[in-house]
C-alpha cells in the first residue's frame, strides 16, 4: 500500500476503515500503493485469527463466481456457521493450474511442490467480505475519520516509538529526505506501531482475491493485481528461505509494521538495521527505512511543504481540478484563475493539486497539496489517509515536545 501506493495498497498498502471515507476521485485502485497497504484504510483494523480447516458441500454463490472465471466449481468451499476458514482444493481450478504452470515456466518453481502448497490454501470468505467497497451513498466525514487516528492512545504510543527509534528516524530523514513525523504518522495509521499487523495467512488472502474476487466492475483488473502479488509473495518467500505459510498480514495481503504488499517489499524495502536481511515483520528499523525509501521513490521532494488550507469561490472553474489524479499539476496562477483563494506565504514555485475533504454535514474542506502530499497517496490512494498521516505525525511531534 509501497499503496496496497495499495490501493491497496493498500494497504502500502484495509470493519474496513478507509473504505468508509475514501473519496471516489482518489480511488484508482490500490496498493501501494499498498494495500497495506490495500485498498481500505489501515489494512489490519479488521483482521481475524485463522482457525481449523473444514470440508463440506460447495457454496452456491462461490460456484457462480467460479463459473464466471472459467474454472471448475466442484471444489468450492462450504458455508459453515462455525468459522470463516473454509476448505477448497484450489488445484482443481483451471486458473490456479495455469498460475502454477506460469510460476514453474517463468520462475523455476517445482510444479508438484506448488500444487501441494495450493492444496493447503483455504478460501477466506471474510477476505471477500472485507475487500468489497463500502455501500454507495454513505457520506464521508473527515472529522470522524481523523478522530480514529489522532487520539490519545496513538499519540502516546507514537511518542514512545519516536523516542525509542530517534536515531533510525533521523538517519532515514537524512538519507531519504523524509521527515520523521511522516514516517511515524504512517506507522501509527497502518499498524499502531506494530501492534496490529494482521492475522490472516497471506497465502490464503492473496489466493482468495486472485481467483475468487467478488463481482465488482473492476473484478478482472483486481484479480490480475492480486495474482501479481501472489507471485511476488512466493518469490519473496523463496528469496528469504521462508515458508510462505509463515507470512501473516492484512486481509489484502499486506505485511509487517508498514503493511507493504509483497511486491513493494521486493521493490522498495531496505535492510536499514544492517543485519543482512529485510524483515518488516520483526524489525521496526527496517520498517522506518523502507517507508522512507518508498516515499522517496514516489516523488518525495526533500524540504518541500505538504499542504495548505484554501477556500473556493462560487461559480468558478475550480471543480474541474478535483479528481485529476494523484499528482500536483497546477501552478498557483492556475488555481487562482479557477477561483481558488490561496493564503499568503504559499510557495509560488511549487505545483499543487486541489484536495476536497467531505466532512459530514459540515462544509467541505479544501486544501492544495504538493508532490509530497501526493507521494503519501501512493502509499494509500486516499486524500483522507494522507491528511490523517500528516496530522497524526504533527500531533505526535507536539506530544514529544510537551
Distance CA 37, CA 284 (A): 16
H-type alpha helices, 90-201:
94-107, 111-120, 125-131, 142-149, 152-164, 166-176, 180-191
Distance CA 22, CA 383 (A): 7
Name every residue whose Cβ is closer than 8 Å to that of residue 98 and which is 6 or more positions away in sequence. none
Distance CA 64, CA 220 (A): 15
User: Active-site positions?
Assistant: 190
Query: Cα 247 vs. chain centroid, distance in angstroms?
Result: 17
How many other CB atoms sit within 10 Å of the CB of residue 250? 43
Distance CA 268, CA 13 (A): 12
Helix axes 202-211, 94-107, angle to 10 degrees: 110
Amino acid at each position: 500500500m509501497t499503496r496496497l501506493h495499495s490501493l491497496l495498497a493498500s494497504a502500502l498498502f484495509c470493519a474496513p476503515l478507509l473504505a468508509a471515507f475514501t473519496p471516489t476521485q482518489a480511488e484508482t485502485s490500490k496498493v501501494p500503493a499498498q494495500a497495506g497497504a490495500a485498498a481500505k484504510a489501515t489494512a489490519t483494523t479488521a483482521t481475524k485469527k485463522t482457525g481449523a480447516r473444514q470440508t463440506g458441500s460447495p457454496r452456491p454463490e462461490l460456484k457462480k463466481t467460479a463459473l464466471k472465471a472459467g474454472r471448475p466449481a466442484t471444489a468450492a468451499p462450504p458455508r459453515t456457521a462455525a468459522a470463516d476458514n473454509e476448505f477448497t482444493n484450489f488445484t482443481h481450478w483451471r486458473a490456479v493450474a495455469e498460475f502454477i504452470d506460469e510460476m514453474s515456466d517463468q520462475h523455476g518453481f517445482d510444479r508438484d511442490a506448488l500444487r501441494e502448497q495450493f492444496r493447503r490454501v483455504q478460501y477466506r470468505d471474510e477476505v471477500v467480505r472485507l475487500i468489497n467497497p463500502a455501500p454507495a451513498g454513505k457520506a464521508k466525514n473527515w472529522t470522524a475519520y481523523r478522530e480514529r487516528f489522532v487520539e490519545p492512545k496513538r499519540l502516546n504510543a507514537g511518542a514512545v516509538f519516536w523516542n525509542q527509534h530517534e536515531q533510525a528516524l533521523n538517519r532515514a530523514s537524512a538519507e531519504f529526505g523524509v521527515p520523521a513525523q511522516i514516517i511515524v504518522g504512517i506507522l501509527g495509521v497502518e499498524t499502531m506501531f506494530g501492534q496490529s499487523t494482521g492475522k490472516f495467512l497471506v497465502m490464503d488472502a492473496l489466493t482468495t482475491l486472485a481467483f475468487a474476487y467478488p463481482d465488482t466492475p473492476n473484478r478482472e483488473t483486481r484479480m490480475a493485481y492480486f495474482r501479481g502479488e501472489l507471485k511476488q509473495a512466493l518469490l519473496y518467500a523463496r528469496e528469504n528461505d521462508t515458508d510462505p505459510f509463515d507470512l501473516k498480514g492484512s486481509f489484502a495481503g499486506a505485511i509487517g509494521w508498514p503493511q507493504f504488499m509483497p511486491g513493494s517489499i521486493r521493490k522498495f524495502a531496505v535492510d536499514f538495521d544492517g543485519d543482512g536481511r529485510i524483515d518488516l515483520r520483526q524489525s521496526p528499523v527496517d520498517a522506518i527505512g523502507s517507508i522512507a525509501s518508498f516515499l522517496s521513490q514516489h516523488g518525495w521532494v526533500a524540504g518541500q511543504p505538504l499542504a495548505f488550507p484554501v477556500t473556493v469561490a462560487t461559480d468558478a472553474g475550480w471543480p474541474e481540478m478535483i479528481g485529476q489524479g494523484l499528482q500536483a499539476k497546477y501552478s498557483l496562477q492556475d488555481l487562482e484563475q479557477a477561483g481558488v483563494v490561496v493564503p499568503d506565504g504559499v510557495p509560488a514555485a511549487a505545483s499543487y493539486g486541489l484536495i476536497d475533504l467531505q466532512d459530514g454535514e459540515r462544509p467541505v474542506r479544501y486544501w492544495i497539496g504538493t508532490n509530497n502530499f501526493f507521494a503519501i497517496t501512493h502509499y494509500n490512494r486516499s486524500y483522507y489517509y494522507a491528511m490523517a498521516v500528516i496530522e497524526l505525525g504533527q500531533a505526535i511531534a507536539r506530544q514529544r515536545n510537551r
